């Protein structure tokens, strides 16, 4: 039997088992004495069973799904499993394929393989791929010539091209930009430089890298496969674009006229592949509020197997199962979908499992540019993501104080014996590192609801992007209550009389006012 058939067969078995569990087992309230039994009595759908939670995670984080890496078969099987859960629950498909309703929002992605070889000559110095040289983009190349320095290479002004004709030339640009501080800004600036250089007809672009991200990280990251949303109509070989380590300004001579270089590389092969967000709608019950949407989101991808993960591994266990990151989140949105479909809230709810978070927030970015329900009618996104947990008495919420639904989230956690810890590990800048930021950038209040942690300590690092992050290592009693609290918070927010609002002065408040016409 082919591997795809085996995976599909296993998915069908788990689907059937989950269905039988639901049919044959009476609902039971959570057994913890700290659970608010009044809440469970009022909303019996929140008495979701631990066995069902466990069954979901044991499939989604199984070895058979091979780490759910975006663009790989295990990721597609996970997407199918989620879609069939939505179908079983009666969620309305949120997308269309061939003019027919569908749960899949299909995304065409481009895989860029690591360069196999490359070096660069600057006078008597040889810069080697994987040491002083990183190939950002290129087809096979063998280029020599004098360089032209273009400042940051982002404008036609004094600190840029100055109106010069650079067609057929090798360009040198300073790394980053005057405003680029974090990784996102640095990488975005680099992509903008490559685009402008290509438009002006240059043959190559060299960036002098001396930014805040350590060169060792840059070197490791870009010497493995990257992924991006494919650009339609772009079939030509990309401009040769390299970064060189200029941390000590040792290659400052490249800013001077008359300097010659040679660049040789095998290039970075590009192939396209498909992935998909999975989305379903629970229609609200209120005649007016049902036209507004609360999004429940979590990424279902992880980092794959062995070398493709970019993380050290042992030969006897090379599968990165991703139970915590983000199997827990995926199961929680499934359980919330079940709870809310059993008794629908006033507002409509879009439940969306996002692909491609681990390779650059690709699924959420794509959704933000191609929304399945109008962004203006989307009042909130409660995202789930996490590296793991080190405190089973709490839920950690990144953005709790900023996004206007603190009371509802705290009440939901308390109902299931949990406390809320706001803004964990602030030094990590977590709000802008997960899928919630794709919604926030459009103006939608979007916190991230995470398993309990206060800091990135050894208990987190032990499992984060490690092969031992498997279902057997989870505390299922805590996991069940985490799912219950999330689902209950979703109901409370969807039933609010008023929309949640950004805190005054928040950096995304202006985007919110622009989106909602405030």
Q: What is the DSSP string of 255-279?
A: GSTT-EEEEEE----EEEEEEEEEE
Cβ atoms within 10 Å of 258's Cβ, excluding its own: 7
Q: Cα–Cα distance between 68 and 77 in angstroms, integer?
A: 8
Q: Which of 291, 282, 383, 278 is nearest to 338 (CA)?
A: 282
- Degrees to nearest 5, angle at CA 353 with 5 and 289: 140
Buried b (16+ CB within 10 A) or exposed e, 383-411: bbbbbbbbbeebbbbbbbebbbbbebbbb
Give the residue with greater pLDDT, 156 vs 302: 302
Phi first, then psi: what are they for 87, rounded to 5°?
Answer: -60, -45
Determine the straight-line distance between the first and last CA of the chain, rounded to whole angstroms: 58
Question: What is the pLDDT at residue 430?
Answer: 93
C-alpha distances (whole Å) from 83 to each of 79, 265, 300, 502 are 6, 43, 12, 32
Question: What is the pLDDT at residue 234?
Answer: 54
Question: What is the pLDDT at residue 6?
Answer: 42
- Degrees to nearest 5, angle at CA 234 with 228 and 238: 75
Cβ atoms within 10 Å of 140's Cβ, excluding its own: 15
Question: What is the pLDDT at residue 363?
Answer: 98
Q: Give me the sign of the Cα torsion angle 199, 203, 208, 212.
A: positive
Question: What is the pLDDT at residue 180?
Answer: 80
Q: Cα–Cα distance between 120 and 264 in angstroms, integer?
A: 6
Question: What is the pLDDT at residue 200?
Answer: 96
Contact between 492 and 422 under an 8 Å Cβ cutoff? The reply is no
pLDDT over 80 at 42, yes or no:
no
Question: What is the pLDDT at residue 36?
Answer: 80
Strand 104-112 and strand 170-174: the pairing is unpaired
Give the residue with greater pLDDT, 174 vs 307: 174
pLDDT over 60 at 278, yes or no:
yes
pLDDT over 70 at 305, yes or no:
yes
DSSP type of residue 219: H
Window from 42-51, 129-138, 250-259, 364-373 with minimum mean pLDDT: 42-51
Phi first, then psi: what are they for 384, rounded to 5°?
Answer: -120, 130
pLDDT, average across residues 106-112: 95
Q: What is the percent of the chain where pLDDT is above 90? A: 79
Q: What is the DSSP string of 96-153?
A: EETTEEESEEEEEEEEEPPPS-EEEEETTEEEEBTTTEEEEE-SSEEEEEEEEE-TTS
pLDDT in tens, 455-470: 999 999 999 999 999 9
pLDDT in tens, 2-36: 444 444 444 444 444 444 444 433 333 333 446 78
Window from 38-52, 207-221, 354-368 with minimum mean pLDDT: 38-52
Q: Cα–Cα distance between 39 and 29 in angstroms, integer?
A: 10
- Degrees to nearest 5, angle at CA 133 with 467 and 227: 45
Phi first, then psi: what are they for 162, rounded to 5°?
Answer: 55, 30
C-alpha distances (whole Å) from 474 to each of 67, 454, 479, 485 are 17, 18, 8, 17
């Amino acid at each position: 039997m082919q591997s795809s058939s085996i995976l599909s067969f296993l998915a069908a078995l788990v689907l059937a088992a989950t269905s039988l569990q639901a049919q044959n087992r009476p609902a039971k309230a959570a057994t913890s004495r700290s659970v608010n039994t009044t809440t469970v009595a009022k909303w019996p759908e929140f008495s979701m069973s631990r066995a069902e939670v466990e069954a979901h995670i044991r499939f989604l984080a199984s070895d058979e799904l091979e780490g759910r890496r975006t663009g790989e078969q295990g990721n597609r099987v996970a997407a199918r499993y989620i879609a069939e859960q939505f179908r079983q629950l009666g969620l309305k498909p949120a997308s269309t394929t061939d003019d027919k309703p569908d749960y899949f929002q299909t995304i065409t992605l481009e895989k860029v393989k690591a360069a196999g070889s490359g070096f660069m000559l600057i006078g008597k110095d040889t810069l080697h791929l994987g040491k002083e040289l990183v190939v950002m983009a290129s087809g096979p190349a063998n280029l020599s010539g004098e360089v032209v320095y273009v400042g940051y290479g982002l404008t036609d002004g004094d600190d840029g091209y100055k109106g010069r004709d650079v067609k057929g030339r090798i360009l040198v640009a300073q790394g980053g930009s005057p405003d680029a501080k974090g990784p996102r800004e640095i990488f975005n600036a680099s992509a903008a430089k490559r685009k402008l250089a290509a438009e002006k007809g240059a043959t190559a672009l060299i960036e002098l890298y001396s930014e805040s991200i350590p060169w060792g990280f840059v070197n490791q990251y870009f010497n493995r496969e990257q992924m991006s949303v494919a650009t339609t109509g772009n079939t030509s070989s990309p401009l040769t674009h390299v970064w060189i380590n200029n941390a000590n300004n040792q290659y400052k001579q490249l800013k001077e006229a008359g300097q010659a270089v040679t660049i040789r590389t095998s290039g970075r092969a590009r192939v396209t592949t498909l992935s998909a967000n999975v989305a379903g709608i629970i229609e609200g019950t209120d005649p007016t509020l049902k036209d507004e949407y609360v999004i429940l989101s979590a990424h279902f991808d992880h980092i794959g197997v062995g070398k493709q993960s970019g993380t050290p591994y042992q030969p006897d266990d090379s599968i990165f199962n991703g139970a915590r990151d983000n199997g827990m989140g995926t199961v929680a949105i499934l359980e919330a979908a079940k709870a809310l479909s059993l008794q629908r809230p006033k507002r409509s709810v879009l439940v969306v499992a996002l692909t491609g978070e681990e390779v650059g927030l690709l699924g959420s970015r794509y959704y933000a540019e191609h929304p399945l329900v109008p962004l203006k009618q989307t009042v909130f996104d409660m995202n789930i993501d996490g590296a793991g947990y080190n405190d089973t008495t709490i839920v950690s919420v990144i953005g709790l104080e900023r996004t206007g639904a603190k009371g509802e989230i705290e009440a939901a956690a308390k109902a299931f014996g949990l406390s809320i810890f706001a803004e964990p590990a602030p030094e990590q800048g977590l709000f802008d590192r997960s899928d919630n930021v794709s919604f926030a950038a459009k103006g939608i209040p979007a916190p991230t609801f995470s398993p309990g942690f206060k800091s990135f300590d050894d208990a987190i690092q032990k499992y984060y992007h490690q092969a031992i992050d498997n279902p057997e290592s989870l505390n299922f009693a805590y996991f069940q209550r985490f799912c219950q609290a999330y689902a209950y918070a979703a109901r409370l927010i969807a039933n609010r009389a008023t929309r949640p609002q950004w805190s005054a002065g928040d950096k995304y408040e202006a985007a919110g006012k622009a989106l909602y016409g405030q």
